[in-house]
Structure formats: C-alpha cells, structure tokens
C-alpha cells in the first residue's frame, strides 16, 4: 500500500513534484533515480532533480526519506573510465596509503584520526606484513 500523503505531482506542497515510493514509474514514465540511470549506463543531464520520491523510514531522523529523480530523456552517457583516470585514481590511493612521517607505503589506508601510520603514532617501526611489497 502506498502512502498517498507523499503524492504531490504539481510540487505545491514539497517544492518539487513528489511521488510515493514505488509509484513514480507509473505516474511519470520519464523519471529515474541516479542508481537507475547508472544501470542504463547514463548519468543525470542536469545537477538539479526534476522530481523526488518520498517514503517513511525509521532510519531517517525525521522519519521520511527522499530520492531525487532525473529525466531519462535529458540523461547523458556515463564518462568512460580511461587509462589516465585509472592512473590518477591509483596515485590518489597510494597517497592515502603513504605515511607522511616514515614515508612507508602500506597495504591499508592510513587512519585520518592518527594522521600517520599506527607504528609512527606509537613510536615503533612498521611490521613487514603491513608494508606494500615492491614489484
């Protein structure tokens, strides 16, 4: 059973056209969430959603959760994952695994709460199993 209090197709109550969970595909055929667009290998064509889904949830602080809806007709193809993007991502992850104090590269991300590897934080030396093996 859908909660019809969330049905606001003209947007007068919630600012955006709003549909109850599970009814948007029936009431507005050209709308999809980001996850649904991604499954179609698409991304939103605009930054602003054109409508929203709304449903009751115990997990939300106010008891209501929302999901943005975008027009499928305005969606664009997802950007390709190029070799340059892969190199940039690998470099960023390596920087997150490098201790700023001892400059060792670890197999795990350095905890931001410590700001350095646990060994440097405790004043010791890193264990061999923690270090990235040089190729």
Count of CA atoms in the C-beta half-sphere (13 A) of 38: 3
Q: Which residue has the higher pLDDT, 13 or 126?
A: 13
d(CA 128, CA 25): 55
**pLDDT tens string 60-113:** 888 899 899 999 999 999 988 899 999 999 999 999 999 999 999 999 999 999
pLDDT score of 124: 79
pTM to 2 decimal places: 0.63
Least confident of 4-8, 64-68, 125-129: 125-129
What is residue 134's predicted lDDT score, i.e. its pLDDT?
46
Report the C-alpha gap between 117 and 131 in whole angstroms.
11
The span from the CA of 9 to the CA of 38, in Å, is 25
| pLDDT > 80? residue 126 | no
Q: Kind and range of the H or E element at 118?
A: helix 118-122
- Domain segments of the chain: what residues? 4-77, 83-130
d(CA 132, CA 135): 9
- Per-residue model confidence (pLDDT) at position 14: 85
Residue among 16, 23, 15, 18 at smallest CA distance from 6 = 18
From CA 68, how far away is CA 98, in angstroms rounded?
37
pLDDT category at 127 given cuts 50, 70, 90 is: confident
What is the structure's pLDDT at 27?
Answer: 64
For the chain, helix (H) and strand (E) counts, in that order, are 4, 6
CA distance linking residue 31 with residue 50, whole number of Å:
8
pLDDT at 135 over 50: no
């Amino acid at each position: 059973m859908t909660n019809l209090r969330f049905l606001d197709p003209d947007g007068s109550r919630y600012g955006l056209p709003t549909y109850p969970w599970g009814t948007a595909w029936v009431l507005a055929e050209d709308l999809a969430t980001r996850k649904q667009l991604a499954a179609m290998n698409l991304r939103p064509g605009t930054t602003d959603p054109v409508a929203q889904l709304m449903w009751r949830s115990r997990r939300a602080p106010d008891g209501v959760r929302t999901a943005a809806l975008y027009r499928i007709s305005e969606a664009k193809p997802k950007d390709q994952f190029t070799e340059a993007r892969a190199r940039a991502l690998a470099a960023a992850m390596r920087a997150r695994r490098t201790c700023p104090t001892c400059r060792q590269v670890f197999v795990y991300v350095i905890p931001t709460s410590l700001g350095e590897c646990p060994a440097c934080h405790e004043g010791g030396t890193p264990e061999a199993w923690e270090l990235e093996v040089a190729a």
